[in-house]
A and B are shown apart, each in its own frame.
Chain A
Amino acid sequence: MLLLALDTATPSVTVALHDGAGVLASSDEVDARRHGELLLPAVDRVLAEASRSAGDVTALVVGTGPGPYTGLRVGLATAVALGAALSVPVHGLCSLDSLAWASGLDEPFVVATDARRKEVYWARYADAATRVEGPAVDRPDDIAARVAGLPAVGAGARLYPEAFPLPHGPGPEHASAAALAALAAARLAAGETLPEPRPEYLRRPDARVPAGYKAVSRA
């Protein structure tokens, strides 16, 4: 098998290729404003580095967030379109799970990424492979008590040390496609059916409802 993994739910544009035994090539570029420009060239580079072409890919896995919407959609739109054009399945995994898997922790911990607007996307894990709460979006203060004493992984933990006071846990600050691919490969090998690639927005869209028609003159 040849699994192409990508994730754009965090500031990192991350792509990896996995053959079932290990990661063949990967790319991680941190640039929160250029997901759209960077993703396809990164896919092309990773495939070339592994001396493979798009037609060799047998499945895709994409990080489904949570993450800032515009960037998140770049990865999802790209993955579902690649899957359709190549006629291969597209799986979705929670982007926070890739940080958890990359941490390799064997004890309870928490993953938190930056949700902007002074909030974090977060989830609690029993170990690197087992999510037990979340994903959710909250203000760090509001969850500080619930995550107290737990090691924390991810840029959200770095941003809010008052809520996540322990030193940053092992693993990356942003989502990792290499970890996402390894996690998906492990779960597929175990015979699991992976979820559909559906975005985890967690927030409702901001929709400003214009106030009813306003008089422009007092006539």
Chain B
Amino acid sequence: MADEPLVLGIETSCDETGVGIVRGHTLLADAVASSVDDHARYGGVVPEIASRAHLEAMVPTIERALKEAGVAATDLDAVAVTAGPGLAGALLVGVSAAKAYAYALGKPLYGVNHLASHICVDQLEHGPLPEPTMALLVSGGHSSLLLAPDITADVRPLGATIDDAAGEAFDKGARVLGLGFPGGPGVDRLAREGDPRAIAFPRGLTGPRDAPYDFSFSGLKTAVARWVEARRAAGEEVPVADVAASFQEAVTDVLTRKAVRACRDEGVDHLMISGGVAANSRLRAMAEERCAAAGIQLRVPRPGLCTDNGAMVAALGAEMVARGRAPSALDLSADSSLPVTEPHVPGEHR
């Protein structure tokens, strides 16, 4: 449909400078510049390095996206940007650039929520989101179960990690096993050669009195470290593939078990999984299995749309436009702890 909104989305909440362009539910361009290699030797994202890289990459990435989409900036109907949550200094680069584009082009600006964007991105892959949507968001920065009756206006947190995010758990597990950063892909690869039932690692917060939808991964990390150290201290060989597989099994078991339970409890017949950890092959397989058994339809965007990207921001921006939500004001600020309950930051009536 030609009258669907053409929206540019900018994402700079962490270490990816992402710029996406969508028309309604159609993805036209998804350009990403990543500074992940600059952080690898530190074993985590260094905020100042990320912010400097965002400034360097910002305009070139926007121009690349416009070229890829084959549209002129003046054709845009709106500019959307991640207003939070994320790294404050990193967010500020994207917010500043988005405001400048919106202002120069005379187009509305939408400061949107990073987590809601992670959910909304699936509209580009699998069409309109069912309402309500149940979403499991798992990445290096977040692990949340969210119920979204309306992705532009009503997002409710059911549960979240009380310590490490799922992606952090993978990073830390990978470090114990001597794998690189980020840890997810390395663990996934190694685990394919291991036995997931070799070691019974603990499943955090799965007791009958524990919060049903919250996650905890720090105990698991400690258990893996202890197990490996005990083998090393005894002079035994560490079966790294078995450790990786058993560790991965523990993480994905808890994630999928709680997500399926949330769907059942809330009477939602489908589950959406997004975030960088959604690229994990075992998580996908296990979710498919368990959702099928429970009669739940699973929606997982392709890996490139699960990690942080600008297309997801554009997707949510387009939805804001389509539903007539109020744009943000020119004094929009980056909010590193923007609550998930605020899908966007509407401006004051002026």
Contacts and interface: CB of A to CB of B under 8 A. Distances in A.
B1 interface: no
A78 B48 contact: no
B330 A44 contact: yes
B103 A217 contact: no
Contacts of A39: 96
B59 A210 contact: no
Contacts of A1: none
B134 interface: no
A64 B65 CA distance: 26
Contacts of A89: none
A186 interface: no
A40 B63 contact: no
Interface string A16-55: 0000000000000000001011111101100000000011
Contacts of B333: 34, 36-37
B226 A73 contact: no
Contact of B93 (A34, A73, A79, A219): A73
A207 B42 contact: yes
Interface in A163-219: 199, 201, 205-210, 213, 215-217, 219
B40 to A, nearest CB: 11
Nearest to B46: A207
Q: How large is the interface on B (under 10, 10 to 19, 20 to 34, 35 or more residues)?
A: 35 or more
Interface in B58-91: 58-59, 62-63, 73, 88-89
Interface string B81-109: 00000001100111111111101111000
A143 interface: no
B5 to A, nearest CB: 18
Contact of A81 (B52, B58, B330): B58
B257 interface: no
Given A76-B55, A215-B225, A216-B225, A81 B96 contact: yes
A160 interface: no
B226 A217 contact: yes
A213 B176 contact: yes
The 4 closest A-B pairs by CB, nearest first: A81-B100, A85-B104, A205-B48, A77-B96
Interface of A: 34, 36-41, 43-44, 54-55, 69-70, 73-74, 76-82, 84-86, 199, 201, 205-210, 213, 215-217, 219
Given A210-B43, A219-B226, 18 more contacts: A34-B333, A37-B333, A43-B103, A44-B330, A54-B106, A69-B52, A69-B89, A73-B51, A73-B96, A77-B58, A79-B100, A81-B62, A84-B62, A208-B46, A210-B42, A210-B44, A213-B176, A217-B225
